[in-house]
Chain A
Amino acid sequence: MKNKCDKCNRPATHHSVEISKEGEKVAINLCDACAAEEGLTMKSAHAPINELLTNFVKLHSGGASGEGESGKSGEGGSPKDTACENCGTTFADFRENSLLGCPMCYKTFEQPLSPLLERAHEGGTHHIGKVPRRAGVGEQRQMAMQRLRRQLDDAVMAEDYELAARLRDDIQQMEGER
């Protein structure tokens, strides 16, 4: 796509393809004024197209720390080069192709990911939509387990071994329910 008008040298804002009599495709690039002269287009004052793709890769190519379109070198870059324990994806891998490797990557990279998500989602940081019934149950179970484990730690610290034994049984039973 040419940036200059075919007829004059102003920036082209109208781009189209016409088929010539010989059946060849011809790209047409015109500025507002020349397009209006061509017939159908009406004069209207507006800035040239800014085909800035707001896609995610570009959003985060400036680094998690910096605002604006500056540095590609990303001095704020890779806060950690740790790999996801589950799938081996590193944050550098993610920067490369903007895809994560597995659900656990969201936990592993929660820190560097958070500001990127916030920018990509208009400031959204937490999910507030539909909750799958099954995952809801799973989350409740995980929360209950966490609570039991904490209580178990407390019981062991307090040397209440009778309570600790009971809590351990509860935890084992819950793990069996998965």
Chain B
Amino acid sequence: MTLRNITEHAGEWLRGAGPQSDVVISSRIRLARNLAGFPFVGHANRRQRYEILEACRSHITNKRLGDNIIWVQLADAMPTDRQLLVERHLISRQHGSSKNEIPRGVAVGGDETFAIMVNEEDHLRIQVLRSGMQLTEAFEQINRIDDILEERLEYAYSRRFGYLAACPTNVGTGIRVSVMMHLPALKLTGEIDKVKRAARDMHLAVRGLFGEGSEAQGDLYQVSNQTTLGKTEQEILADFEHTVVPQIIAYEQQARQALLRQREDQLDDKIWRAWALLTHARVIGTEEVLQLLSHVRLGVNLGRLDTVDIRTINELFLLTQPAHLQRITGSEMDPATRRVARARLIRQRLGVR
């Protein structure tokens, strides 16, 4: 298993399946962990970082975590490979773009259901990604990975503060639960801001497709917890499963129904214009694609448009990103050439000439 193999199709988390997948794209959980006896990454010198990297790598490639684990030494990786991993949400932007000389890596396994970053902000950032609303399954998996790693690695832990992390916002359980949601109707009706405010009042963060600082491209929003101290992992998960996510889903569904009732023609117009552009454009940029895909996806979910399935749409969200596009076409391209190749790829995948 190499990076080459993962390019062609989207990972498990974009299958477009799983519970509530018309609104919930994916469930993600990550744990921040640090080794006892070392400074945090930001304060470790090069030699220490290398020691941390080696200690973690030897245990991560442990057979018990799976047979087909890909280990990528990021400092040696090609820029497009790193970008590819960012686009697939297997590493953070920060991890992908750090200076080359900083020893760091990532292990990817279990059909891309998990990734373990080494020497990001913390020594270890373990992450599990699933399609649809599957937080319970994701937690079981990540907890097992954590247990296996913990047998060999001594974590920095204090009785009062729990798992110690470089940033105190991650201390305690070190858990970050993120649910990526497609909220086109709330965006169209302008109610998304209300949801964002409500989420913040509940101490949740709302971010875009690529996390911190990224705008909500394609009407994709990640909702995640901010509180990691003073609550158990189960309490944090239960908040999401029983309160936060069902509420946002309900708002989105209401907004979709309201659009259908009150603005049916305008809604259909948006959806079909998006479809027309996707199937006929000859030059197209990523941002525009994401917005058009969002409207088409809404159309499919509402049964207004049946010329494409959700899985294809989900995959296009990913495959039209720069690194994926270059991988699929097998060549490095400048942005202008990419816009042409992107339009062609979309037409191919949508089965039009």
Question: Which residues of A does B touch, CB under 8 Å?
Answer: 13-14, 17, 19, 23, 25, 32, 35, 39-42, 44, 46, 49-50, 52, 54-56, 86-87, 89, 97-103, 106-107, 110, 113, 116-117, 120-135, 138-139
Contact = CB atoms under 8 A, between A and B. Distances in A.
B135 to A, nearest CB: 16
B39 A39 contact: no
B288 interface: yes
B96 to A, nearest CB: 19
Contacts of A17: 287, 291
> What 10 A-B pairs are tightest by C-beta distance, nearest first?
A124-B230, A127-B162, A135-B157, A103-B156, A124-B229, A101-B43, A129-B173, A121-B229, A102-B39, A129-B232
Contact of B173 (A44, A49, A127): A127
Given A40-B270, A127-B160, A138-B154, A46 B193 contact: yes
B134 interface: no
A19 B281 CA distance: 12
B227 to A, nearest CB: 5
B111 interface: no
Contacts of A35: 190
Counting chain B residues whose Cβ lies within 8 A of the other chain, the interface size class is 35 or more
Contacts of B191: 44, 46
B331 interface: no
A99 B167 contact: yes
A113 B150 contact: no
Contacts of B231: 124, 128-129
A56 B168 contact: yes
B168 A100 contact: yes
Contacts of A55: 169
B155 interface: yes
20 contacts: A19-B288, A32-B190, A40-B259, A42-B258, A42-B259, A44-B194, A55-B169, A87-B43, A101-B40, A101-B42, A101-B43, A103-B164, A106-B164, A113-B168, A117-B171, A120-B226, A124-B229, A127-B171, A128-B232, A134-B154
A50 B159 contact: no
A2 to B, nearest CB: 15
Given A101-B39, A124-B229, A127-B162, 20 more contacts: A19-B288, A23-B285, A40-B189, A49-B193, A52-B200, A89-B43, A99-B167, A103-B158, A121-B227, A121-B230, A126-B161, A127-B158, A129-B162, A129-B172, A129-B173, A129-B175, A132-B155, A132-B157, A134-B154, A138-B36
Interface of A is mostly: loop
A117 B43 contact: no
Interface stretch (B55-63, B76-84, B261-269, B322-330): B261-269
Contacts of A123: 230
Given A14-B190, A41-B190, A106-B164, A127 B229 contact: yes
Contacts of A139: 157, 159
A100 B193 CA distance: 33
B169 A132 contact: no
Given A98-B167, A134-B155, A122 B190 contact: no
Contacts of A41: 188-190
Contact of B169 (A39, A50, A56, A128): A56
